[in-house]
Structure 1
């Protein structure tokens, strides 16, 4: 009887215990859902603006550090915190006249994040943020995919100041590399010479340097090779427009509600409003600029502040040399002349903006691209569009390949919209210089993939990986170049990043439909030359009918692969054709277009044979073209592939 009572008592105890465990699990799930709602949703607007915290800066650096991180943009902050948490004595130094942390996202006013989202959604149906680690730590502290600048700056400052291994040194006038004697064909970085705010100079030794400047300034000074703008596409003079972010006042909750009513009910996937962000108002591209050669508006991208203001990233300015202070000032002058008219145009065009006022501009320009350093691996557009994995992955991106205008007449384009691609460690290891890593949008990316890889979440992931890599390299007594070739060392780096919450795992995705097309190899060539765009749906229209005019444009665009080889006039190929943009493209006409471009003498009926003779066309491609009288876009890409191999000797 006593045993029976004890058994019943024990059973009741187990029931109570199970009940408590179930309750705790339910509470945990509820807390997780609340966290995901609050932090992984698109916004959590506040009406209280934080007071900007002072950044504690040392007056002078120590004589030596384990690592120097150059640049206080988000990438540099991630690198510095990562290095410090790995036990490294770290100097975080900035060569610009800054008094707050965050760079582009604070002083540049870029308060809307170009987010990388994962394929899966959370239990609330919200898209999950792809990037973890340090980015998530910071993201938890701000309002959402748009944020108040003070909130962001304070969040950065709190994360940095919490690390006792970091010395912050702001407002240095100049940062120059200290280089050692060459070894194995490479020059080692051994520290930096700092010109302090008072003009005095200080030499600081370091075991490694991480260049997290927007333009790889330190790396360039150290002798790292690079391309500039769209140079890798044969267009060294062009680069994407810069933007001066401006502030609107009187953006009240009522105004926000009216914007939401307009954009959330316009049946367009490309516009919308959430608690903190606005994207839409494409009609603003019709604004008539005062300076038609240098300025152009696009649709409004607005990020909400906590004081009834909003920051707008929409005014594009062209032909700005961002390394020339006079050119930068000229860009500010152009913008300041346009902005009163822009605000007036908004007020006249949209009733909800009747009460808005111009509230000023950011203190720094948003510069999208300048240098692209040459590293041990150069991320290319095929890597990104095909959701390419890398054995030495240190981060992931999924943002669309967004190529902004290079001139007022250029509309820009979206090359593709990847689901997820890997960023390799080799892309942050520069050629010719040892002891240096590049953790910024200036890393080793071609200009087209840079349109996606340049976004801040990618940069912060790379920064965290760089800080961890410095510690590992010093422990293993390896150079970064040796690390970049060692699967064992990279495996250890990935393990450490996973332990830090980064989730560095192989990509397992099905091939995109275009990758299984018979003309896929041709499409890859066209992509690498910047001649193909799949937009947001990754539809390259491979099976659509081609026409003679499009072939002329395609071959003309391919000239960048080797300009000297284009000895003829490609437009002569359609000089005697009517409706060249409407009639079918034949193989004969396509071949004739290529011979005309290259200056090869051949009648249209002889052009195909001429190309075969000169190894500018292969029999394999001829056989793949199903209908020689009606070529498709896919067929033209195969012709471009053969042309590229024949002219350059490279696939």
Structure 2
């Protein structure tokens, strides 16, 4: 689940109506509200939309990104409870998931109010005092922004970058998706087709339990109504309790995730495209999809990217890939660094699979001029809670987050409480140290810009001594040339992908490398036949300034 933006400010208990106000009933928002209530706080969960569960239940993203090491799941705490209740499978029924989230909120005693978008904030200097919606004003001691677009943090003055702005390429965001529901598709035919593709044709497709993924060749044949706006990727399928299938495949480009009105308009327009997609599937694969019927679209878009918080610390790409941990880590991550396209028909992004890495507490604390606080004094009185969050924190002054982030005793008390609640904060697995290898400095620089592609099997490693695959080398060139609008060079790369399609997953040889360089107007390079990823990093660093 996504990290929270913590916006907790100081009030006197006599005026505050709630100890904790969580804005956004996303999965992370539900977790924050439930955890706060379990710690003895009076909690209000405000949601601008019509349901709880965010992208899981409103965006119908019904497959979990599960990450494991030798000890098991990296995700712990309340996630384990949710996972157990929805059946302990990668995919789940969205209606059951929403029922489970409501049950968790009721059991914890959280007050929930739906359809209450933030209208204005009441402040005293840099301090947030209350959140007002069209239906009421809610003062609180603590505020947590749990929206996927950081709407509350933005209004409160936090600083952000947009899309992939911090890479220096552009401000584009990854494509959004509208998930749609199909009825009338025989699951047995889906299982047979996908497992044949995966096991016999070695396409990477497959299916088990409720989950299915594949039909990539079929999807590539789809011609959208507006090729600059829509694309169809391989189908990710999640079977529901009623036998219907939720399909995550329709990509939408150029979506402004920060504009709620625009998002609803985009969703309505994309629903028409989903109808065209279903007609295409029925025509092109009648044995599997011949009786398919469109039975609705998700109430909300699946947004992959919008605002990125400028926090006290921002994780670097190499720290993620190589599995760095931190003394103030409050969570673990480890899911593959794969992402969707930024342009129609663009090769998807894959930078490898991280070793388990820590998420530092500092990465959740907004930087900039705003004074974000986790407790403290106002009018000479300390804010009191119904019950202290835990004994260790009772010994550490509840100061603002910037000071807490620099307090080893306060952070350690926080970590102990998280461990006590079942979180995992460390792993014995480590990344492969590669400092000193050829191309290390260049590879790290490229990785930070999303321009050093790597296969899934490279876990916790840049793989600098390994041969670079042709497809990975071309992907780096393609992504840069698309972002910079270098059309002539892009056409050379796309033609190479077309001509050598059957060799994309094979090592790049010297002869072909020099042919590519000649076609791009660059000088060839001498060396052994096999081109290592380290050498490729040096070359790409020069080609992609």
TM bucket (normalised to shorter chain) is 0.7 to 0.9
* Counterpart selection for 1:524 from 439, 444, 459: 444
* Counterpart selection for 2:151 from 194, 199, 217: 217
Deviation at 1:205, TM superposition (A): 2.3
- Tell me which residue corresponds to 2:67: 116
SS of the equivalent of 2:358 reads strand
Cα distance in 2, alignment partners of residues 296 and 367 from structure 1: 15
Cα distance in 2, alignment partners of residues 253 and 636 from structure 1: 44
Cα distance in 2, alignment partners of residues 269 and 130 from structure 1: 28
Cα distance in 1, alignment partners of residues 391 and 271 from structure 2: 43
Does 2:320 correspond to 1:384?
A: yes
Does 2:52 correspond to 1:101?
A: yes
- Tell me which residue corresponds to 2:429: 509
- Tell me which residue corresponds to 1:278: 212
Q: 1:554 to 1:254 in 2, by over 3 A?
A: closer
Q: Is the Cα contact below 8 Å between 2:312 and 2:363 reproduced in 1?
A: yes
Cα distance in 2, alignment partners of residues 522 and 558 from structure 1: 18
SS of the equivalent of 1:273 reads strand
Question: 1:21-62, CA deviations, whole angstroms, 9 ceiling, x for partnerless residues?
Answer: xxxxxxxxxxxxxxxxxxxxxxxxxxxxxxxxxxxxxxxxx9
* Counterpart selection for 2:129 from 175, 182, 190: 190
* Counterpart selection for 1:495 from 400, 416, 432: 416
Range 293-302 or range 350-359, more displaced:
350-359
Does 2:97 correspond to 1:152?
A: yes
Question: 1:411-466, CA deviations, whole angstroms, 9 ceiling, x for partnerless residues?
Answer: 222111113111111111001333368xxxxxxxxxxxxxxxxxxxxxxxxxxxxx
Does 2:162 correspond to 1:162?
A: no
Range 249-258 or range 128-137, more displaced:
249-258
Point out the structure with the larger strand share: 2
* Counterpart selection for 1:414 from 350, 355, 361: 350
Question: 1:281-309, CA deviations, whole angstroms, 9 ceiling, x for partnerless residues?
Answer: 11213212122111100111011111111
Cα distance in 2, alignment partners of residues 556 and 318 from structure 1: 15
- Tell me which residue corresponds to 1:184: none
* Counterpart selection for 2:372 from 425, 430, 435: 435
Cα distance in 1, alignment partners of residues 392 and 284 from structure 2: 56
Does 2:30 correspond to 1:64?
A: no
Deviation at 1:65, TM superposition (A): 1.5
Cα distance in 2, alignment partners of residues 234 and 179 from structure 1: 35
SS of the equivalent of 2:270 reads helix
Q: 1:236 to 1:155 in 2, by over 3 A?
A: same
Point out the structure with the larger helix share: 1
Deviation at 1:392, TM superposition (A): 0.8
Q: Is the Cα contact below 8 Å between 1:468 and 1:493 reproduced in 2?
A: no
Range 282-291 or range 327-336, more displaced:
327-336
Cα distance in 2, alignment partners of residues 473 and 294 from structure 1: 53
Give RMSD over aligned pairs: 4.0
Deviation at 1:326, TM superposition (A): 5.5
TM-score, normalised via structure 1 length: 0.67
Gaps of at least 5 residues in structure 1 are 1-61, 121-127, 182-186, 438-466, 575-580, 594-603, 605-624
SS of the equivalent of 1:376 reads coil
Question: 1:58-98, CA deviations, whole angstroms, 9 ceiling, x for partnerless residues?
Answer: xxxx95211111100100000011111111111111123x1
SS of the equivalent of 1:523 reads helix
Q: Is the Cα contact below 8 Å between 2:61 and 2:179 reproduced in 1?
A: yes
Cα distance in 1, alignment partners of residues 95 and 482 from structure 2: 48
Alignment of 1:115-134 (within 5 A): 115-120=66-71, 128-134=72-78
Deviation at 1:516, TM superposition (A): 6.4
Deviation at 1:329, TM superposition (A): 4.2
SS of the equivalent of 1:537 reads strand
* Counterpart selection for 1:137 from 81, 88, 105: 81
Cα distance in 1, alignment partners of residues 542 and 372 from structure 2: 41
Question: 1:331-380, CA deviations, whole angstroms, 9 ceiling, x for partnerless residues?
Answer: 23442332233222222333122222111101111111000010011012
Cα distance in 2, alignment partners of residues 289 and 342 from structure 1: 8
Q: 1:626 to 1:236 in 2, by over 3 A?
A: closer
Cα distance in 2, alignment partners of residues 299 and 116 from structure 1: 22
Q: 1:311 to 1:381 in 2, by over 3 A?
A: same
Gaps of at least 5 residues in structure 2 are 1-14, 375-387, 493-509
Alignment of 1:16-415 (within 5 A): 64-96=17-49, 98=50, 100-120=51-71, 128-143=72-87, 144-164=89-109, 166-181=110-125, 187-196=126-135, 201-202=136-137, 204-259=138-193, 262-263=196-197, 265-266=199-200, 268=202, 270-283=204-217, 284-324=219-259, 327-350=262-285, 351-415=287-351
Cα distance in 1, alignment partners of residues 478 and 188 from structure 2: 53
Cα distance in 2, alignment partners of residues 384 and 280 from structure 1: 28
Q: 1:530 to 1:345 in 2, by over 3 A?
A: same
Deviation at 1:264, TM superposition (A): 5.8
Q: 1:401 to 1:307 in 2, by over 3 A?
A: same
Cα distance in 2, alignment partners of residues 474 and 643 from structure 1: 55
- Tell me which residue corresponds to 2:359: 423
Q: Is the Cα contact below 8 Å between 2:149 and 2:258 reproduced in 1?
A: no
SS of the equivalent of 1:299 reads strand
Deviation at 1:191, TM superposition (A): 2.9
Alignment of 1:441-456 (within 5 A): none
Does 2:534 correspond to 1:634?
A: yes
Q: 1:540 to 1:256 in 2, by over 3 A?
A: same
SS of the equivalent of 1:314 reads strand
SS of the equivalent of 2:80 reads helix
Q: Is the Cα contact below 8 Å between 1:291 and 1:334 reproduced in 2?
A: no
Q: Which has the larger radius of gyration?
A: 1
Q: Is the Cα contact below 8 Å between 2:253 and 2:342 reproduced in 1?
A: yes
